[in-house]
Amino acid sequence: MATKDALIAEEGNNTGGAAVFDKNAEIVNFEVEPLSIGLTKEQLEKYRNDPFWKPVRTILFALFWIAWIAMFGAAIAIVLLSPKCAEKQKPDWWQTKVSYQVLTATFRDSDGDGVGDFAGITEKIDFLRKIGVTTIYPTPVLQVQKDEYFNSYDVVDHMQVEPRFGTEEQFKELIETAHNRDMYIVMDLPVSTISSSHKWFAEDQDKDLFITAKPGDVGFNSTKFHSFHGSNTLKYLGYPGALNPVLNWKNEKVKQSIQEAIKKYLLLGVDGFHIDHVSQLAVDSVGNTIATDAIQTLKEITTSIREFIANHSELSSKKIVLSSSLQDIENLHSDARQTGLLHYVIDNSFANLNNNLCLQNFSSVANCVHVALDKAYQRHEADSYTPYWQFSNADEPRLASRFDSETANLLSFLQLTLPGALSVYYGQELGLKNGLTKTGTDQQRGIMQWTPKGNDHHGFTNDGGDLFFAETEDTLNQDNFDTQYGLETSPLKVYRKLAKLRQRDEAMIVGDTVRHAILNDVIVFSRYVRASNNTAQGNAYVVALNFGDSQASLDLGTSQYQKLYPSNKNINNVEISVVTTNVTQYAVRQKVDLALEPLILPPKQAILFKL
């Protein structure tokens, strides 16, 4: 009879391995040889050169690579032949920026002489940046006649900056400070007129530099022509008056001198020029504009700028913008506005509106605004210019003095939500009213108010001395930057929210505008990037403005408002984005179902909501 150890060993052998009994540990250790899976190497070897399998392998290998190449080619063909996606609009930098026009003399006085300066703008540039300003437009920059107006077109030297504002180095520091903050600087470039205090005007040998008339000429007795220092033998054309002689752009000295000035300021680093009074670049014998010749002269100026930029490596990558103003451009008729010589034309038509004018001619401010918008849209479409809105400037009374404060804030809300680019006149974001100069004129040129009233004249200067321009009335001591920045619902904070929104959301930058007809005193429109089938790419916004004196209730779920909304959006769960100062029923980021409840607009208030 076999022993127990032997039986275990024998069973182990039957499994293809070995089993050993350890008497001390009383365990059995197995060593099992692993079994092979598939054919062994020796078995495969006989098929290596088999007459049947060798060609089969070759054919399968070739078919694999043919199929792979075919699929790769098909993928390339699909990419190349498939319909291309609509390319996103790529706006120029000036279209996405909020421009801020600064009257240099009244913005900030850094040296205590009562006149604002370049260093003062540099000092406050971070305050502007944090409220959404991205382009600064100081005016004037060039040396001008020493009078009380600081008129940017009273130029006495194109090659020098105004010494009362600081040095050329300080102006360059302003430019560099702006660029370091991803901001831009544009400036006025007077090209058609100079000041009667200009050295050219005093030099008898340079009379050919101007448009002149002699006795017997048709224009000699015209009120547009004025005598040279009392002379009765030669007169010069003045525009708009005797203080601004019109230059003769057929004279080579005029061309070369102004072109050299342009090159100088480009090399200093400016990002654009406002070229106004272009209708005076070419006139006839009685002082009337010759549109075709003026256009040709404008073309020479803009072409020389582009050529200079292209030939300088430090400038070649920059986009220098050139602009003018609507009021002047209209004198050149529609053919001039379609030449493409300018990047944009500032639409300053709203700067001429006021409360009395609106009530007398249109019965209400809402109707007045509605008609002005209609005309503006028609101009922009006909002239193929991107809209560029300006509601206040240095030549007209301030917005808050032409209308009551709430309507002025409502109009600023409108401006910041319109399509295209815009320019805000300093202090408009605070609702500043007119001030007074020493002569009681140019009321819109009051000083900027940075802090509550004190010995430093609202923070305009570090010195308590006399001012060149006056302060504006501020009975509540709230029309200043510091106070309003600390209030969540101030006009400044509303401006800031809108300024930043229109720079980060494509709908507010390049989106189409769908306008609804005016209903009573309420204007409603929407903004979104339109795709196929009236769908919106990204967000869609609706702007509602109540210009009336009573509360308005808008049932936006009714059919009359349906065209405002893209087909892929609804009003069941809208989000309130921005409201004006006296809207208390809604809060920013609040969700509202406007399909079930009307939108309530208090008098002279506005709401922007996102679909």
Per-residue pLDDT of 477-505, as tens digits, reads 888 999 999 998 899 999 999 999 988 89
Task: Report how far residue 475's alpha carbon sits from residue 576's, in angstroms, rounded to the nearest whole number.
Answer: 32
- pLDDT digits over 44-86, tens only? 666 666 666 677 777 777 777 788 788 888 878 776 666 555 4
Residue 245 has what pLDDT? 93
Of 429 and 439, the structure prediction assigns the larger pLDDT to 429
Q: 316-330 as b/e, with b when 16 or more CB fall inside 10 Å?
A: eebebbbbbbbbbbb
The one-letter amino acid code at 269 reads G
607 has pLDDT over 60: yes
> Which H helix or E strand runs over 321?
strand 321-325
Mean pLDDT along residues 98-102 = 93
Distances (CA, A) of 128 to 152, 184, 475: 23, 12, 25
420 has pLDDT over 70: yes
For Cα atoms 122, 123, 127, give the angle at the middle one, nearest 5 degrees: 100
The one-letter amino acid code at 67 reads A
Residue 204 has what pLDDT? 61
- pLDDT digits over 186-221, tens only? 999 999 999 988 988 877 657 889 999 988 898 888
Mean pLDDT along residues 105-116 = 92
Distances (CA, A) of 265 to 107, 201, 228, 318: 22, 24, 31, 14
374 has pLDDT over 80: yes
According to DSSP, the residues that pair with 155 across neighbouring strands are 144
Residue 301 contacts residue 278 (beta carbons within 8 Å): no
Burial of 182 (0-12, 13-18, 19+ CB in 10 A): exposed
Residue 509 has what pLDDT? 86
Do the bridges between strand 98-103 and strand 421-425 make them parallel or antiparallel, or are there none, so unpaired?
parallel
- pLDDT digits over 548-591, tens only? 999 999 999 888 888 899 989 989 999 999 999 999 999 999 99
For Cα atoms 209, 214, 218, give the angle at the middle one, nearest 5 degrees: 110
Q: In the structure encoding, which two tokens stand for residue 563, read together?
A: 């065209």
- pLDDT digits over 225-283, tens only? 988 876 778 899 998 877 899 999 999 999 999 999 999 999 999 999 998 888 889 99
Residue 282 contacts residue 290 (beta carbons within 8 Å): yes
Chain centroid, CA 148 distance in Å: 32
Residue 340 has what pLDDT? 64
Residue 336 has what pLDDT? 47
SS3 state at 221: coil
Q: In the structure encoding, which two tokens stand for residue 91, read together?
A: 């706006």
Residue 398 contacts residue 354 (beta carbons within 8 Å): no
Share of the chain above pLDDT 90, in %: 48
CB atoms within 10 A of CB 92: 13
326 has pLDDT over 70: yes
Residue 6 has what pLDDT? 45
Residue 387 has what pLDDT? 80
For 23-59, give the DSSP string.
TTTTEEEEEEPPPP-S--HHHHHTTTT-TTHHHHHHH
32 has pLDDT over 60: no
Of 158 and 504, the structure prediction assigns the larger pLDDT to 158
Chain centroid, CA 399 distance in Å: 21
Residue 429 contacts residue 421 (beta carbons within 8 Å): no
Query: Any idea which of 173-182, 436-445, 447-456, 515-524 has the lowest mean pLDDT?
Result: 436-445
Residue 380 has what pLDDT? 76
Residue 264 has what pLDDT? 96
CA dihedral 388, 337, 325, 398 (to 10 degrees): -60
Residue 9 has what pLDDT? 44
Mean model confidence pLDDT for the chain: 85
Task: Report how far residue 72's alpha carbon sits from residue 69's, in angstroms, rounded to the nearest whole number.
Answer: 5
For 474-523, give the DSSP string.
-TTS--SHHHHHT-TTSHHHHHHHHHHHHHH-HHHHH-EEEEPPPBTTEE
According to DSSP, the residues that pair with 322 across neighbouring strands are 273
Residue 540 contacts residue 592 (beta carbons within 8 Å): no
According to DSSP, the residues that pair with 48 across neighbouring strands are none
Task: Report how far residue 450's alpha carbon sits from residue 479's, in angstroms, rounded to the nearest whole number.
Answer: 9
Give the phi and the psi of residue 197 in degrees, each rounded to 5.
-90, 0
90 has pLDDT over 80: no
